[in-house]
A and B are shown apart, each in its own frame.
Chain A
Amino acid sequence: MLRFIIRRLLQLIPILLGLSVLLFAWLRALPGGPAQAALGERATAEDIARYNELFGLDQPLYVQYLRFLGRAVQLDFGTSNRTGRAVTTEFLERFPGTIELTLFAMVFAIGVGIPLGYLAARRYGGFLDSSSVIGSLLGVSIPVFFLAYLMRLVFAVELGWLPGSGRQEVRIDATRITNFYVLDGLMTREWDAAWSAFVHLILPGIALGTIPLAIIVRITRASVLDVVNEDYVRTANAKGLATATVRRRHIIRNALLPVSTTIGLQTGLLLSGAVLTETVFAFGGVGSALRDAITNRDFPVLQGFILMLAVVYVVVNLLVDISYGLLDPRVRVR
């Protein structure tokens, strides 16, 4: 198992190196280069030359790349063109919001999706089954952006049941410790702050969770249908095990293997920033930060955020593989 993990960690290195080259090349390839981007349209040629000298942009490309890499390894991606603050600081402020949102969305998708998929399979061909198949088809095909907009309109604007923008009510002067607002509220015993942060997760979380939900329902259903016909389930029944034991130990356990992979992949995707959903709900996570960075041509932020999110994505996938190895002994040995 340890060897497996180490091997997977080593595999990360070329992936991240490749990505850093791409990002580096992308920034250099911009018209006017980073200097123009940082100084704006009206910068004079002298300004640009001074800037280039200051940041070593007059050096050969490989020297520039190695410097970039050296700083990136220390998580130094420079400062935001817009706010002048360190990119890493901005990331640490924004990312906890996205993590909270992702957790909410995935808990929703898993909590609803697995039981629904299981029941659909057990009632194969019945009403619940057909509706879940159609529902999950709708779920994956409705644009999240549209769904988010609709949910906000109905439940926040029209009905006013739930908050439709931000991460917390503005009037609450909450203490920030980890930037996980719900967690901070719990840690400082500012219950109203925690509660407010939590209810702010509901609408964007559900909107974001629909695609994972639809996929989880579909995969759970297909997987259960496969597993119930397996010979080892017949063996389990031939042993006279109680129905509940057969179900839990032999059917669900094996049926969830493919589901666990899906959960991991979807978590990775959501963590890398739900630009559209966060924008609709003005939710201050990395998704809306990316959107702002794009509109403002804030390249240091884009570069740093993308690279850090890539690391997150790859690490999440590694965790998925490891957990799969723990769940399925056949993978472990290989």
Chain B
Amino acid sequence: MPTSAPVLEVEDLAVTFSRKGETPTRAVDGVSFSVAPGETIGLVGESGCGKSVTSLAVMGLLPPRGVRVSGSVRLDGQELIGASDRMLRRLRGADMAMVFQDPLSSLNPTLAIGTQVTEVLLEHRDLDRKQASAEAVDLLDRVGIPDPGRRLKEYPHQLSGGMRQRALIAMALACSPRLLIADEPTTALDVTIQAQILELLRELVVGSGTALVMITHDLGVVAGLCDRVHVMYAGKIIESAERHELFARPRHPYTGGLLHSVPRLDAGRGARLTPIRGSARDTIPWSQGCAFAPRCDNAEDDCLGDTVPLEVDPAYGTDRELRCRHPLQPARVGAGTSGAGVARAATGGSGATASGPGR
């Protein structure tokens, strides 16, 4: 666990969407986490749990109207919530960068790759066009794009999905940011390409001391890359733990459910996957108790009523946090073996996902 001052500190972040004539929806609700230099954290959860909204709030990329953001986001100690558009633009692309899910739609179809890479360099670094092009060739080379000089003149549709994502990673890394947020960077790609992209992120980002926030519903990605994992459900973090701890001894029934729905290498052929029952839509407001209660096997009467708080897990040191009144007991998930099995299965690119059966 790195001990240096965190690059990113998110505290009590809440995002509410409100449109005229609609009831406001609270997409992110009191989320706190921090990332140290060189550390990788995972934000994991089913579709719609608020992962992307969290990352967009950190980057200051939420739409200017119809959104209320509260709490605190600090990048190297500097407060970003309420910061001017000018300041945010100075930081984005330079000190914090983001890679998105769909590489094709995330690239401008009418601009050559080279233009899209050099524009970040020209915006944030004191380079002339020639230096910027040379730097762009260098960047594409570093992200593993062969023949970078030629690729720079090509357009997004001429590149394969994996190459496009590499190009986007090159743009994100162009100014050696302190923080990189990757929002499901491999979801749109083939399994073999997924593994390559993750490897690239590990090499370039983690190796350079950049803090990485990995957003995913793929536990394989978490197992292969993340130091620490925050599991989200319905806009709130419900469990935070160091990766091995989480895989070995999940405490929250939802986390346990996620792990159980992942194929395991050490389980026999006939072993069944048990998906979490119900879907992400079966939820109750946090103000009325635990949002997961309608789908939870451990649920009891005291799970309803008031908000279940996120607390340091009494059974494990100060490093684990948990939002549950009746957590899983380690024995029940088969401590050790099961977690390792999942981790191995997942790193093998099993494409395991945290999605319920409804998807």
Instruction: Give complex CA distance A330, B98 in Å.
Output: 26
**Complex contacts, A230 vs chain B, CB 8 Å:** 105
What 0/1 readout, one digit per residue, does chain B (71-115) give for beta carbons within 8 Å of chain A?
Answer: 000000000000001001111111001101010011111111000
Are the C-beta atoms of A240 and B124 separated by less than 8 Å? yes
With both beta carbons as reference points, the residue of chain A lying nearest to B93 in the complex is identified as A240
**Known interface pairs A232-B105, A235-B168; A249-B93 also in contact (CB < 8 Å):** no
**Complex contacts, A239 vs chain B, CB 8 Å:** 92-93, 97, 119-120, 123, 171
Task: List residues of A (234-250) whose CB comes within 8 Å of B's CBs.
Answer: 234-243, 245, 249-250
**Complex contacts, A235 vs chain B, CB 8 Å:** 100, 106-108, 168, 171
Are the C-beta atoms of A234 and B100 separated by less than 8 Å? yes
Instruction: Give complex CA distance A254, B155 in Å.
Output: 14
What 0/1 readout, one digit per residue, does chain A (238-266) give for beta carbons within 8 Å of chain B?
Answer: 11111101000110011001000000000
**Complex contacts, B280 vs chain A, CB 8 Å:** none
Scoring B85, B108, B119 by chain A CB atoms within 10 A of each residue's CB, the highest score goes to: B108
Instruction: Give complex CA distance A224, B228 in Å.
Output: 41
Scoring A230, A231, A234, A235 by chain B CB atoms within 10 A of each residue's CB, the highest score goes to: A235
With both beta carbons as reference points, the residue of chain A lying nearest to B109 in the complex is identified as A330
User: B111 is contacted by which of A231, A249, A333 (Cβ under 8 Å)?
Assistant: A249
The answer to whether the Cβ of A47 comes within 8 Å of any Cβ in the partner chain is no
User: A330 is contacted by which of B93, B119, B155 (Cβ under 8 Å)?
Assistant: B155
The answer to whether the Cβ of B284 comes within 8 Å of any Cβ in the partner chain is no
Looking at chain A's contact residues, is the secondary structure mostly helix, strand, loop, or mixed? helix
Scoring A232, A243, A249, A250 by chain B CB atoms within 10 A of each residue's CB, the highest score goes to: A232
Interface pairs A-B: 8 shortest CB-CB: A240-B93, A240-B92, A239-B93, A231-B105, A329-B155, A232-B108, A240-B89, A231-B106
Are the C-beta atoms of A234 and B61 separated by less than 8 Å? yes
**Known interface pairs A235-B100, A253-B110, A257-B110; A240-B123 also in contact (CB < 8 Å):** yes
The answer to whether the Cβ of B157 comes within 8 Å of any Cβ in the partner chain is yes
Instruction: Give complex CA distance A239, B59 in Å.
Output: 10
**Complex contacts, A241 vs chain B, CB 8 Å:** 89, 93, 119-120, 123
**Complex contacts, B98 vs chain A, CB 8 Å:** 238
Instruction: Give complex CA distance A328, B157 in Å.
Output: 11
Task: List residues of A (215-236) whose CB comes within 8 Å of B's CBs.
Answer: 230-232, 234-236
| Number of residues of chain B lying within 8 A (CB) of chain A | 31
Instruction: Give complex CA distance A241, B85 in Å.
Output: 11
The answer to whether the Cβ of B196 comes within 8 Å of any Cβ in the partner chain is no
Instruction: Give complex CA distance A297, B89 in Å.
Output: 68
Instruction: Give complex CA distance A207, B354 in Å.
Output: 61
**Complex contacts, A327 vs chain B, CB 8 Å:** 110
Are the C-beta atoms of B89 and A243 separated by less than 8 Å? yes
With both beta carbons as reference points, the residue of chain A lying nearest to B91 in the complex is identified as A240
The answer to whether the Cβ of B158 comes within 8 Å of any Cβ in the partner chain is yes
Are the C-beta atoms of A249 and B119 separated by less than 8 Å? yes
Q: For chains A and B in complex, what number of residue pairs have CB atoms within 8 angstroms?
A: 83
Scoring B88, B89, B94, B171 by chain A CB atoms within 10 A of each residue's CB, the highest score goes to: B89
Instruction: Give complex CA distance A305, B107 in Å.
Output: 47
What 0/1 readout, one digit per residue, does chain A (72-101) give for beta carbons within 8 Å of chain B?
Answer: 000000000000000000000000000000
**Known interface pairs A249-B119, A330-B157; A254-B108 also in contact (CB < 8 Å):** yes
Are the C-beta atoms of A238 and B59 separated by less than 8 Å? yes
**Known interface pairs A235-B168, A240-B124, A333-B158; A328-B109 also in contact (CB < 8 Å):** yes
With both beta carbons as reference points, the residue of chain A lying nearest to B56 in the complex is identified as A234
Ordered by A's residue number, 14 sampled pairs between the chains whose C-beta atoms are within 8 Å are A234-B100, A237-B61, A237-B89, A238-B61, A239-B123, A239-B171, A250-B108, A328-B109, A328-B110, A329-B109, A329-B155, A330-B109, A330-B110, A330-B155
Instruction: Give complex CA distance A235, B102 in Å.
Output: 11
**Complex contacts, B155 vs chain A, CB 8 Å:** 329-330
Are the C-beta atoms of B89 and A329 separated by less than 8 Å? no
**Complex contacts, B94 vs chain A, CB 8 Å:** 240
**Complex contacts, B171 vs chain A, CB 8 Å:** 235, 239
**Known interface pairs A232-B105, A238-B92, A333-B158; A245-B119 also in contact (CB < 8 Å):** yes
Instruction: Give complex CA distance A232, B105 in Å.
Output: 6
**Least CB distance, A326 to chain B, in whole angstroms:** 10
Are the C-beta atoms of A242 and B123 separated by less than 8 Å? yes
Are the C-beta atoms of B89 and A242 separated by less than 8 Å? yes
**Complex contacts, B97 vs chain A, CB 8 Å:** 238-239
Are the C-beta atoms of A236 and B108 separated by less than 8 Å? yes
**Least CB distance, B279 to chain A, in whole angstroms:** 26
